[in-house]
């Protein structure tokens, strides 16, 4: 699956996600698919977006930043259905970039909120009960209104990236005891809330400390190779400012989704070939792209 256009609800309502030709997802996906990794695009001013498994009551539709594209994660029900919300049919688009099979993990119908107490501190969160045997965690982070300092990492990591993000869907590793660390931030009573959407239990690996794999050349597509190849490469992107663009795509692809990150902190996923290669374009070398892990 490589950058497949999807259809979803008209402005201001939850509705089923469909394939780009308006047919059901199950007509196009392997029957064992339980989740989709999405590229959520907003080419206008900040707009609300939300994604949930069909049958869920998860209500969150926080803002995604202006002129941005970013990773989103959504689970599928037994009939391979999911729902999405968008504020603008004109400026918000959605593409499928990859999928997870049921042998690879679990998506909850109702996400579990695990927002910790505290402020301006890394807090360890134990997910052993909710995510038994997990290797990776599928999360959702956001606040109402707007962006807030956000950081999330595998427990035991010394990574400490805490840039401002709007509504985002990180995919991160956990340690062997299913612990992660989350940077708690309370800004005027508005916390960066954390939900656990599900977990990856197999067919994936995650780095404890994510290596920097940023291309050395800005302004054009460069081939990036990760040392541990996988079908899907999970990334974290930071930028100490706003208004600059980036793009990711599979090796040899011709689409050019060149938009801003989700303010200054973003997570992403890109398909790779068997050699672990994909293509990246950054507008400025201030961008940093980190290799979080890979799905096999």
pLDDT in tens, 276-292: 999 999 999 999 999 99
Q: Considering 178, 206, 234, which residue would you say is the last residue of a domain? A: 206
pLDDT of residue 1: 74
Q: Are residues 21 and 48 in the same domain?
A: yes
For residues 175 and 172, give the distance between their C-alpha atoms in angstroms, rounded to a whole number.
10
Q: Are 171 and 259 part of one and the same domain?
A: no
What is the average pLDDT score of the chain?
A: 96
CA angle in degrees (0–180, nearest 5) for 55-68-104: 45
Same domain, 200 and 119: yes
Amino acid 88: pLDDT: 95
Eight-class DSSP state of 189:
T
Residue 240 has pLDDT above 80, yes or no: yes
Instruction: Note whether 89 and 180 are same-domain residues.
Output: no
Domain assignment of residue 215, yes or no:
no
Percent residues over pLDDT 70 in the chain:
100
From 83, 101, 119, give the residue that closes a domain. 101
109 and 201 both lie in a single domain: yes
- The whole domain housing 93 covers 4-101
Q: Are residues 111 and 175 in the same domain?
A: yes
Q: What is the pLDDT of residue 46?
A: 95
Chain centroid to Cα 159, Å, comes to 18
Q: Which of 73, 101, 129 is the last residue of a domain?
A: 101
Question: Minimal CA–CA distance to 43: which of 89, 95, 96, 97?
Answer: 89
Same domain, 112 and 201: yes
Q: Is 25 helix (H, G, I), strand (E, B) or coil?
A: helix
Residue 211 in any domain: the answer is no
At CA 115, angle to CA 68 and CA 291, rounded to 5?
50
What pLDDT score was predicted for residue 83? 98
Residue-wise pLDDT tens digits, 3-46: 999 999 888 999 999 999 999 999 999 999 999 999 999 999 99
128 within domain boundaries:
yes
Residue 105 CA to residue 134 CA, distance in Å, equals: 8
Average pLDDT over residues 195-217: 97
- Same domain (yes/no): 259, 274: yes
**Quick check: 106 pLDDT over 80?**
yes
Whether residue 50 is found in the same domain as residue 143 = no
- What pLDDT does residue 130 have? 98
Cβ–Cβ under 8 Å, residues 279 and 213: no
Residue 68 has pLDDT above 90, yes or no: yes
8 and 69 share one domain: yes
Phi then psi for 27, rounded to 5 degrees? Answer: -75, -10
**In-domain check, residue 229:** yes
**Taking the CB of residue 191, how many other CB atoms lie within 10 A of it?**
17
Residue 214 lies in a domain: no
* Model pLDDT for residues 261-278, shown as the tens digit of each residue: 999 999 999 999 999 999
> Which DSSP state fits 26?
G
Residue 61 within any structural domain of the chain: yes
Tokens of 264: 């200054």
Judge if 93 and 43 occupy the same domain: yes
Confirm whether 281 is domain-assigned: yes
Is position 270 within any domain? yes
The number of folded domains in the chain is: 3
Structural tokens at position 190: 């508005």
- Same domain as 244, residue 176: no
């Amino acid at each position: 699956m490589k950058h497949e256009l999807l259809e979803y609800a008209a402005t201001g309502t939850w509705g089923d996600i469909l394939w780009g030709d308006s047919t059901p997802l199950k007509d196009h996906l392997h029957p064992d698919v339980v989740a989709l990794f999405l590229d959520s695009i907003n080419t206008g001013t900040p707009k609300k977006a939300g994604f949930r498994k069909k049958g869920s009551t998860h209500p969150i539709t926080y803002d995604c930043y202006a002129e941005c594209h970013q990773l989103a994660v959504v689970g599928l029900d037994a009939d391979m259905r999911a729902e999405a919300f968008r504020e603008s049919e004109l400026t918000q688009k959605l593409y499928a970039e990859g999928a997870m099979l049921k042998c690879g993990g679990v998506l909850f119908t109702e996400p579990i909120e695990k927002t910790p107490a505290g402020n301006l501190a890394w807090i360890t969160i134990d997910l052993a009960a909710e995510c038994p045997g997990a290797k990776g965690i599928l999360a959702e982070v956001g606040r109402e209104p707007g962006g807030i300092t956000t950081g999330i990492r595998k427990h035991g990591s010394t990574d400490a990236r805490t840039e401002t993000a709007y509504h985002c869907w990180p995919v991160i590793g956990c340690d062997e005891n299913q612990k992660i660390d989350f940077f708690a931030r309370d800004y005027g009573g508005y916390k960066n809330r954390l939900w656990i959407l599900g977990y990856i239990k197999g067919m994936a690996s995650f780095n404890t400390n994510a290596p920097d794999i940023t291309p050395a050349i800005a302004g054009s597509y460069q081939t990036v190779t990760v040392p541990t190849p996988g079908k899907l490469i999970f990334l974290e992107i930071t930028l100490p400012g706003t208004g600059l663009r980036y793009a990711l795509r599979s090796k040899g692809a011709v689409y050019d989704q060149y938009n801003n990150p989700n303010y200054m902190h973003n997570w992403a996923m890109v398909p790779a070939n068997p050699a672990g290669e994909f293509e990246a374009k950054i507008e400025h070398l201030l961008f940093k792209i980190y290799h979080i892990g890979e799905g096999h």
